[in-house]
Amino acid sequence: MNISERDQKALKYLGGSILLASVIYFWPAGTATEAAAGVVNATEVLEKRLGKSRTLLMEVPDKQAVLKQVQSDLAVREKGLLVADTAAQAQAQLFQILRRVGRAQGPPIEVRANEIGQARMFGDDYGEVSVSVSFECGIEQLVNLLADLGAQPELLATSEIRIGQAAGPQKVIPVRLTISGIVPRKLIPEKKGLSF
């Protein structure tokens, strides 16, 4: 087989470049002291990693104690949630609380009308239900009613209050009061689709 002169030159250059590449590839990375220093550095890194792991392991009981404390604090705070199977039942419970506190006033406040608000999200983990009621009372009765509502164990808040003009010799005022209560997230219906 005859190889042209050009191909012979190309083979020579190819052989030389393969020889040079293999010398560079297989050349020792460093001296023995550099290799020993790499082993020492690797040992130090592993010792530091072991020290950090031990520190994290020692912190686990403390973190578990903090978690238990936070969970017990949350359970105490969530005792005030309105407990019901549905949002409508929670609203009915809220209305019953309003009626009970109103009847405990002297003289009793009778709720004449009510309006159930729409349940909505309250943050990421809870829901809010509201009830609006209308009644007539004296200003001191209204102040006492609001104070008594604030003293209830449930998580209640006045969302809106409208006070009309006093009428008659007893200075009775018409009041429209909206009270909100906090419920678990599961009672709030999921929104589906677009709402405008």
pTM over 0.95: no
Q: In angstroms, rounded to a whole number, what is the distance separating the alpha carbons of residues 64 and 12?
A: 72
Beta-strand pair 120-122/113-116 = unpaired
Backbone angles phi, psi at 136, to 5 degrees: -125, 140
What's the mean per-residue pLDDT of the chain?
A: 85
Q: Tell me how far the alpha carbon of residue 134 is from its chain's centroid.
A: 35
Indicate which CATH number applies to the domain containing 130: 3.30.70.60
Band of the pLDDT at 135, cuts 50, 70, 90? very high
The whole-number pLDDT of residue 106 equals: 84
Whether residue 179 is found in the same domain as residue 99: yes
Examine the fold and report which residue of 80, 114, 137 is the final residue of a domain before the chain moves on.
80
Q: In angstroms, rounded to a whole number, what is the distance separating the alpha carbons of residues 78 and 72?
A: 10
Q: Are 101 and 143 in contact (CB under 8 A)?
A: no
State whether the Cα torsion 11-14-20-24 is positive or negative.
Answer: negative
Q: Are 155 and 127 in contact (CB under 8 A)?
A: no
More confident residue, 173 or 20: 173
Q: Does residue 38 surpass a pLDDT of 80? A: no
Domain total of the chain: 2
Q: Is residue 196 part of a domain?
A: no
- Residue range 48-73, pLDDT digits in tens: 988 998 888 888 888 888 889 998 98
Band of the pLDDT at 1, cuts 50, 70, 90? low
Q: In angstroms, rounded to a whole number, what is the distance separating the alpha carbons of residues 132 and 158?
A: 10
- Residue range 149-181, pLDDT digits in tens: 999 988 899 999 999 998 888 889 999 999 999
Stated as kind and residue range, the H or E segment containing 183 is: strand 173-184
- Dihedral class, residue 138 (left if φ above 0, else alpha if ψ from -120 to 50, else beta): beta
Query: 90: helix, coil or strand?
Result: helix
Q: Is residue 57 part of a domain?
A: yes
Q: Is residue 112 part of a domain?
A: yes
- Residue range 107-126, pLDDT digits in tens: 899 887 788 888 889 888 89
More confident residue, 161 or 195: 161
E runs forming strands in 74-184: 113-116, 120-122, 126-137, 156-163, 173-184
Give the range of the structural domain holding residue 32, as residue numbers without chain letter.
1-80
CA atoms within 13 A on the CB side of 106: 0
Whether residue 75 is found in the same domain as residue 91: no
Examine the fold and report which residue of 26, 57, 80 is the final residue of a domain before the chain moves on.
80
Closest CA to 181 of 111, 109, 132, 113: 132
